[in-house]
Amino acid sequence: MLFDVGSLWAMLRLHVTTLRSLAAAGSDEQGSVVEKVILTAVFAALAIAVGAIIVAKITAKANSINLN
C-alpha cells in the first residue's frame, strides 16, 4: 500500500493546522492563497490515490471470489 491510514490522518492534520495558521496570520501573509491552493491540490491528489488503491483492492478481492 502506498500510504497507511495513520500517515494519511497525520498529513490531513498537518494540512488543517497549516490552513488554520495561515488564516490566523491575517492578510499580511504574502502568497497565502497560492500556498492554500497548492496544499489543497496535494491533498486532493492523495485522496484520489487512496481511493484508487481502495477500488483496486476491492476489485481484486471480488475477482478472486469463487462463485462455483
pLDDT per residue over 23-51, tens digit each? 776 656 566 777 888 888 888 988 898 88
The span from the CA of 59 to the CA of 38, in Å, is 31
Q: Whole domain around residue 50: which residue ranges? A: 5-63
Decide if 12 is inside a domain: yes
Q: What percent of the chain stands above pLDDT 70?
A: 81
pLDDT at 21: 77
Cell 491540490 belongs to residue: 41
The whole-angstrom separation of Cα 39 and Cα 19 is: 9
Contact 8, 43 (CB under 8 A): no
Could you tell me if residue 56 is inside a domain?
yes
The amino acid present at 30, given as its one-letter code, is: Q
DSSP tally for the chain: helices H, then strands E: 2, 0
Q: Are 63 and 11 in contact (CB under 8 A)?
A: no
**pLDDT at residue number 3:** 58
Domain total of the chain:
1
